[in-house]
Structure 1
Amino acid sequence: MKKLLIITSGLICLFLNTQAQNKNLDKIVAQLGNNIILLSELNQQYAQYLNSGNPEDDKVKCYFLQRLLTQKLLKQQAEIDSVYVEESDVDQEVDKRMRSQISRAGGQERLEQFLNRSVLQYKDEIRPEIKEQLIAYKMQQKITENVNVTPLEVKRYFETYKKDSLPDIPTEFEIGEIVLYPKLNKEEKQRAKDKIEALRLRVKAGEDFGFLAKSYSEDPGSAAEGGDLGFFDRAGMVKEFSAWSFKLKPGEMSPVFETEHGFHFLQVVERRGEQVNARHILIRPQTTPQSLERIKLQADTIYKNILDKKLPFAAAASLYSDNKDSQYNGGMLLYADEVTTRTTFIPADKVDPKVFLVVDTMHAGEVSKPVAFSSPETGKEGYKILYLKSKIAPHKGSLEQDYTKFKEKAQQEKVERSLSEWFEKRRENTYIKIDSEFTDCDELKIWNKPTTAKN
């Protein structure tokens, strides 16, 4: 059975600008039950393809139409099963995609020039489509939520490989880390606090908030958008930030306050129930030589306690590490590819090059001396203590060594098979009509089969 496209939020493209089509020239290119797909919808998808730098190819429209049919069928079932998404989730996804578009365009003004409309207008246009995508994705999750594989099924899946076709597994590492950033004292923080307070007074005196955010904010995720963070709920930000965001009224500005990221002040733009749109400016206190020396002494002490077996590495990570992603995972780093969920086994070419230089010379079970580093995201300096739990040499895939990998692949195959069977049954009992312009599309032949459903 031919596999269908699996809809995921990461694969569903965001509409890009197209000239508004004359409704008199628009036409229905497909009907699925009571849902229709217009030529304008298809052309918007094709515009995304072209604007991403791809060559013209009308055959690609077959793929886009298949994807839209898949989405409509899932949406139709979602309506029957009362599967819905919260409006706040739709708002978050719209804002997330808009931030991505603004970043790629080089700023909000450039994006609005490209779209020939305001961002607010564009958000209203794409919202219904994004909502439908989220509903379709949630429906797909419901269809496959109880699909699991047994050890016997994993073994059978493994046995489908011929001996000479087993995948080559590259060198893999299991690595733990304790990340230590300097803790600045009051005097060391004061320079950053003075700087941001001066910026807040400039805004208060009438200077443009967005311009100052673009010029001075040290938040790489929002500075280019004039500090705009889009809509978020109370759980979407650190507690100090959320507290001020939901305390203020639209247009009001907070005093300077501190979070784990640095010093901020914010202005509320809009409030929608339990969602707020705010913009902010962030100034991060700068590390000093004295603070680095203090954290180096702490790192040396932790390292010695681990070597002397006074403190297990995992316990030290939970007590001292500033990496929240691994702190309560025994300090172990996790990796995820397009198939596997999250695993502690990291391919050699995916290990941070600076970390690789250290662990490649270590033996399993060893702990490194504190290593100076700087965060690639923020440039913040600190020290790491690295732990090499294991190093697995390159080998042919085996069920004993790579059970988790084959389990994930077997699970994925079973999920795809379950979805294909579900779609096959629904297509047989759903009225589907596709415009003759697309009858030659190979991707759509399974959708053109005669159905028992009546219009």
Structure 2
Amino acid sequence: MMNVLNNKIVQGIFLFLIGFSVNAQEIIKDKEPEKKATTPQQKRQRVDGIVATVGDYTVLDSDIDKAFLEIEGSGGSVKDITRCQMLGKLLEDKLYAHQAIQDSIVVKDEEVKEKMNQQIDYMVEQLKSMENVVKYFKKNNEDEFKTELFEILKQQKLASEMQKKIIDPIQITPEETRNFFKKIPESERPMLGAELEIAQIVIAPKVSQAEKQVVIDRLKEIKKQVQEGASFTTKAVLYTEDPGSRSSGGFYKINKKTPFVKEFKDIAFSLQEGEISEPFETEFGFHIIYLEKVKGQDLELRHILMMPKVSYDALKEAKDKIELLRTRILAKEITFAEAARTMSDEKETRANGGTLVNPKTQDTHFELTNMDPVIYGQVSNLKSGEISSVILDEDAKAGKRYKIIMVTNKIEEHTADFSKDFIKIKELALKEKQINAIAKWTDAKVKETYIKINGEYKDCTFTNNWLKK
């Protein structure tokens, strides 16, 4: 089985094992060390050898190989990246992690274990068994594999928290933004892609009380079976409709700050250890919760989510309603914004006339080439003021629903303009300021941290002064 693994699976697994972020800092072309002829025995020694040390951390030659695999697995190209460049990036990651320890940044083992368990679930799903995972990564046993994965993930988390500590306090003023823009020669100002502002109206089919009762009765039956000795974990694996917790048997660890819906937390914090709730409803569907343990402020619980089924008649009624609404808007009996405010079932957009907010930028502009592929397919051919046909949308949270989308404004590709594109220019200025801050921080920490580069990598020309020349 190990010899016939799909490349995509292998690359997907390696995505979990290396904390490489291409966005953290640009990889700049370095000098590649001279390649020397090696025997098979020497190659084995190279893969297992320590090529660099940063503080308390080491980098193996095999870590560089894994980093290349991660980029390829995420769809990137590695043809212009040398081993020297990749080592430089890994050295940055180790420096962040080392300094995080010096700065007493705390990473909770529970958080790391939770992430580790999620990733192991993924690996087991891909390789069919834990035994195969251990064998594939050439570990002696499951404990050895878990110990190594835990340390890798903890280093990633430490590095991430250290980087956040450096850049989070950095802010950019309007004056700094203006000066940043003025420094760019007019002939070199960036081209900004076509952008859209869009609004939508959503009509959701109504779930009948009878369908709700079917789910409530099923959850009550599961609760009864568990009280009679059945495993709640097994029932969750078999029946829950929550994809985020199915593989772990419905397990979550939460406290009062965990961003779960209020109804869920209210029920969870009202239970005693070992108690199972009655079925209750949230915007996601109907749940039952089994409280396993209370650990200080934290609850360890399992839950089962079930969503009532929508009947064919309810779907047809919703479609007829939105088609009539679209006809009325086109006939100018009512504006799109008025219809959204009074009739849309999407509460997040209803109040502002159906206008969508870009989750990445928190403004209303969507760059056409960076849009969600599904939305892109629905609006890319629309002109400003045009409305889409009725679309059947299957939302992971809300289930099946119908919607129509209107392009309220279309901005064609253009050269960056300070007044029109202030938010984007501000983001670029902030990014430059953050990169400069990281560079300054790295330069200072390299000088005061124990760093050793071994073997042929001493011939590299790095962006940072890792060789302390």
Q: Same fold (TM over 0.5)?
A: yes
Q: Is 2:231 aligned against 1:229?
A: no
Q: Is the 8 A contact 2:263 2:282 kept in 1?
A: yes
Instruction: Tell me if structure 2 keeps the 8 A contact 1:209–1:226.
Output: no
Output the CA distance in 1 between the equivalents of 2:366 and 2:265.
Answer: 35
CA separation of 1:328 and 1:126: change in aligned 2, threshold 3 A: farther
The alignment partner of 1:404 has SS state of helix
Change (3 A) 1:406 1:119: farther
Equivalent residues of 2:443, 2:464 under 8 A apart: no
The corresponding residue for 1:241 is 264
Distance verdict in 2 for CA 1:304–1:96, change over 3 Å: farther
1:330-341 to 2 correspondence within 5 Å? Answer: 331-335=354-358, 341=361
Contact 2:59–2:90, Cα closer than 8 Å, also in 1: no
**SS of 2:459 mapped into structure 1:** coil
Q: Distance in 2 between matches of 1:56 and 1:345?
A: 32
**Counterpart position of 2:40:** none
Q: What does residue range 30-429 of structure 1 map to in structure 2 within 5 Å?
A: 30-32=52-54, 35-38=55-58, 43=62, 46-47=65-66, 65-75=87-97, 77-78=99-100, 81-82=103-104, 84-85=105-106, 87=108, 91-103=110-122, 105-106=124-125, 110-111=129-130, 113-115=132-134, 126-127=149-150, 129-159=152-182, 161=184, 165-223=188-246, 225-234=247-256, 235-248=258-271, 252-292=275-315, 313=338, 316=341, 321-322=345-346, 324=348, 326=349, 331-335=354-358, 341-349=361-369, 350=371, 353=374, 357=378, 360-361=381-382, 363-364=384-385, 368=387, 371-377=390-396, 380-429=399-448
Matches of 2:141 and 2:321, distance apart in 1: 52
In the TM superposition, what whole-angstrom CA distance separates every residue of 1:250-274 from its partner, at most 9, and x where no partner exists?
6544333322211222334454333
Matched, 1:448 2:450: no
CA distance in structure 1 between the partners assigned to 2:143 and 2:290 by the alignment: 18
Q: How far apart, CA to CA, are the structure 2 residues paired with 1:432 and 1:314?
A: 64
* 1:389 partner amino acid: T
- 8 Å contact from structure 1 (residues 439, 445) kept in 2: no
Q: Contact between 2:378 and 2:388, CA under 8 Å: does it hold in 1?
A: no
Contact 2:337 2:353 in 1 (8 A): no
User: Aligned pair count?
Assistant: 416
Deviation, structure 1 residue 356: 5.3
The answer on whether the counterparts of 1:98 and 1:123 sit within 8 Å (CA) in structure 2 is no
Q: Does 1:15 align with 2:35?
A: no
Maintained 8 Å contact 2:201/2:403: yes
TM-score, normalised relative to structure 2: 0.70
Matches of 2:63 and 2:270, distance apart in 1: 40
C-alpha deviation, 1:422, in angstroms: 1.6
**Residues 345, 441 of structure 1: CA spacing in aligned structure 2 closer, same or farther, 3 A cutoff?**
same
Paired residues of 2:325 and 2:339 also in contact (CA < 8 A): no
1:8 maps to which residue?
Answer: none
Quick one: distance in 2 between partners of 1:167 and 1:392?
15
Q: Deviations over 1:278-320 (max 9, x none)?
A: 3332221011245446656876679979966799559828x95
C-alpha distance 249-122 of structure 1, shift in aligned 2 (>3 A): farther
Change (3 A) 1:272 1:112: farther
Residues in 2 aligned to 1:222 and 1:157: alpha-carbon distance in whole angstroms? 46
Kindly indicate whether the alpha-carbon contact (under 8 Å) linking 1:199 and 1:212 is maintained by their aligned counterparts in 2.
yes
Per the TM alignment, residue 69 of structure 1 is displaced from its structure 2 partner at its CA by 3.7
Separation in structure 2 between the aligned mates of residue 92 and residue 253 of structure 1, nearest angstrom = 25
How much is the aligned-residue C-alpha RMSD, in angstroms?
A: 4.5
User: Offset at 1:113?
Assistant: 4.2
User: C-alpha distance in 2, partners of 1:251/1:121?
Assistant: 33
Q: Distance in 1 between matches of 2:165 and 2:226?
A: 48
Aligned to 1:5: none
Letter in 1 for 2:262: K
Q: Would the alpha carbon gap of residues 101 and 162 (structure 1) be closer, same or farther in structure 2, given more than 3 Å must change?
A: farther
Does structure 2 conserve the Cα–Cα contact (< 8 Å) formed by 1:372 and 1:381? no
Superposition TM-score, scaled by structure 1 size: 0.71
How many percent of aligned residue pairs carry the same amino acid? 27
Q: 1:342 to 1:110 in 2, by over 3 A?
A: farther
Over 3 Å counting, the alpha-carbon distance change for 1:182 and 1:394 in structure 2 is same
Deviation string 1:408-454 (CA, Å, 9 cap, x unpaired) is 1221112101110121122223343333453134447621114xxxx
Note closer, same or farther for the CA distance 1:398–1:255 as it changes in structure 2 (3 Å cut): same
More moved, 45-54 vs 179-188:
45-54
